[in-house]
Amino acid sequence: MKRKWDVMRITERDLKILDDLYERRTMTVKQIRQLHFVGTEKYVYHRLYQLKKCGYVKSMPMVKDGQKTAACYYVTEQGVRLLKESGRIKTLRRARNNKASGKKIKYVIDTNNLYTTLKGSGWEVVDSRRWKNEKRIDRNTMLRCGLRRKDGKEYNVYIVGAEITDRTLKKIQNEIEKQTLQDIILYKGKGQEQTKEIMKRLRGMMSEIAIKEINLMPFMAGLRILLKFTSEESCKELFKQYGEVLPYRGTYMFANYLIRKHEQEYYLCNHLYGNETAIHWLKRYAVDRYKQDGRKVLLFTWSSYAGMLRQEFEQYPHIEVVGLDTRMLSDEEIDIQLV
């Protein structure tokens, strides 16, 4: 006699869970809950248990420092067959080839934190395999995924931690130099001091490139920044609070806009995404150039960066650093497992 879970009724939500596990390779319970069980959080364990008993998914532990930190789920061959029969699979991959293992689990979970947080916000998070194929990028590159803003702007995304070696940083630098898309690098450390140290290392590396837009953001704050600013228009709406925003198509690479207030025009330098390339070019707008040009600069950044940038531009009296309060960012709890 069959048990009741051997003949479970597959729902549309079950198919969406299997589809996410297939496309995203592996996900934690928190990630699955955030996507598919809003308002019914306690039910996630029951449903995953049923899917596992029926053979559609399996679980494995995510281990950190020798201890299990979370359970990760992945789709089985039976689950892949179900997706194929339901017409949801475009590119067929065997379950054993689709499963993340070893150190790759940590990287996949990190990337899926972006997916679960940004889904439905206006950002599209594209799996690295599909992104590399679409953009004809070497499959061995270290970029984690692609990001496509709702206004169409695209970014390569890297995620790095404090344990990253100088050799790996150099590899990322070489990759960025060869690619044509803009980049976002999300970094994370254990505590404030470690986070500052990894940022310092990244800034040193990025200062050698300066050929395109490269953005550095701390991981958790970066998620909130991306949630807040999902298009160029959303950035402009903020800048309009400071004056009339005008397009700029001149030679200075640190500015895309002018701000006119009190009958005076300023260059607008946008550092809300942590655009280090803009800072690189802004440093070349020295006092002598300002005296020839006549326009001052409003440099928009977050209050946590304002002190550092004011110190860097101490000898530039024509550059005003505007430190924005991070409380304007989403205060919605971001339910992720940092690994």
Q: Please say which residue of 100, 117, 142 terminates a domain.
A: 100
pLDDT digits (tens, 9 = 90+) for 260-281: 998 899 999 999 999 999 999 9
Domain annotation covers residue 304: yes
pLDDT at 323 over 70: yes
Backbone angles phi, psi at 120, to 5 degrees: 85, 0
- Residue-number span of the structural domain to which 240 is assigned: 228-328
Mean pLDDT in residue range 292-301: 97
Domain annotation covers residue 292: yes
pLDDT at 70 over 50: yes
Write down the pLDDT at residue 251. 93
- The kind and range of the H/E element at 111 are helix 104-118
pTM (two decimals): 0.89
pLDDT at 332 over 90: no
Q: Please say which residue of 71, 100, 129 terminates a domain.
A: 100
DSSP 282: H
What are the DSSP calls for 145-210, one per residue? EEEE-TTS-EEEEEEEETT--HHHHHHHHHHHHH--SEEEEEEE-SSHHHHHHHHHHHHHHHTTT-
Domain annotation covers residue 62: yes
pLDDT at 107 over 70: yes
Mean pLDDT in residue range 318-330: 90
Contact indicator for 143, 160 with CB cutoff of 8 Å: no
pLDDT at 247 over 60: yes
Domain annotation covers residue 125: no
Total domains, the chain:
2
What are the DSSP calls for 56-105, one per residue? SEEEEEEEETTEEEEEEEEE-HHHHHHHHHTT--SS---HHHH---TTHH
d(CA 10, CA 19): 13
Domain annotation covers residue 200: no
Query: In the predicted model, what is the mean pLDDT of the chain?
Result: 90
Considering the chain, what percentage of its residues have pLDDT values greater than 90? Answer: 75
Q: Please say which residue of 77, 100, 123 terminates a domain.
A: 100
pLDDT at 50 over 60: yes
* CATH number of the structural domain spanning residue 72: 1.10.10.10
Domain annotation covers residue 318: yes
Provide the pLDDT confidence category of residue 307 given band limits of 50, 70 and 90: very high
pLDDT at 30 over 60: yes
Domain annotation covers residue 290: yes
Mean pLDDT in residue range 51-67: 86
pLDDT at 331 over 70: no
Write down the pLDDT at residue 170. 92
pLDDT at 245 over 70: yes
Domain annotation covers residue 195: no
Mean pLDDT in residue range 160-166: 91
